[in-house]
Amino acid sequence: MSDSELFEQVAEEIYRQGYSVLSNALPAELCNSLAEEVRRLPSERFSRAGIGRQETHLKAEVIRRDEICWIDNSTTAGHDWLEWAGGLKQAINRRLFLGLFSFESHYAHYQTGDFYKVHLDAFRGQQNRVLTVVTYLNPDWNPEDGGELVIYPEKGSTPLMKVMPEFGTLVVFLSEEFPHEVLPAKTDRYSIAGWYRINSSDSSRIDPEA
Ligand code: OGA
Ligand code: MN
CA of 8 to the centre of ligand 1 (A): 23
The ligand with the least distance to the CA atom of 64 is: 1
- State the chain's maximal CA–CA distance in angstroms: 50
- Output 176 or 50, whichever has higher pLDDT: 176
**How much is the average pLDDT of 40-55?**
83
pLDDT of residue 50: 80
Residues 6 or more apart in contact with residue 37 via CB below 8 angstroms:
75, 77, 78, 107
- Considering the chain, what is the average pLDDT of its residues? 91
Where is average pLDDT lowest: 12-21, 27-36, 52-61, 104-113?
52-61
Residue 203, exposed/middle/buried by CB under 10 A (0-12, 13-18, 19+)? exposed
Flag whether pLDDT at 99 surpasses 90: no
Residue 125, exposed/middle/buried by CB under 10 A (0-12, 13-18, 19+)? exposed
CA of 115 to the centre of ligand 1 (A): 9
pLDDT of residue 78: 98
Q: Whose CA is nearest to atom 5 of ligand 1?
A: 193
**How much is the average pLDDT of 186-196?**
97
Provide, rounded to the nearest whole percent, the portion of the chain with pLDDT above 90: 78
- Mutation pick for ligand 1 pocket among 134, 138, 152 (CB with most ligand atoms within 8 Å): 134
Q: Whose CA is nearest to atom 1 of ligand 1?
A: 193
Flag whether pLDDT at 86 surpasses 60: yes
pLDDT of residue 81: 98
Cα distance between residue 158 and residue 80, in whole Å: 37
**How much is the average pLDDT of 129-146?**
97
Where is average pLDDT lowest: 1-5, 132-136, 161-165?
1-5
Cα distance between residue 49 and residue 193, in whole Å: 12
Q: Catalogue all structural domains in the chain, each as residue range(s) with its CATH number.
A: 3-198 (2.60.120.620)
Within the chain, residue ranges assigned H as helices are: 3-17, 28-40, 57-63, 76-96
Asked if residues 131 and 101 have their Cβ atoms less than 8 Å apart, the reply is no
pLDDT band at 202 (very low <50, low <70, confident <90, very high): low
pLDDT of residue 126: 67
Flag whether pLDDT at 183 surpasses 90: yes
- Mutation pick for ligand 1 pocket among 21, 68, 141, 180 (CB with most ligand atoms within 8 Å): 180
**How much is the average pLDDT of 38-42?**
97
Cα distance between residue 18 and residue 112, in whole Å: 31
**How much is the average pLDDT of 34-59?**
84
The ligand with the least distance to the CA atom of 107 is: 1
Residues with CB under 6 A from ligand 1: 108, 116, 121, 134, 149, 165, 180, 182, 191, 193
pLDDT of residue 203: 43
Where is average pLDDT lowest: 64-68, 122-126, 179-183, 202-206?
202-206
pLDDT of residue 125: 66
pLDDT of residue 127: 58
Q: Whose CA is nearest to atom 2 of ligand 1?
A: 193
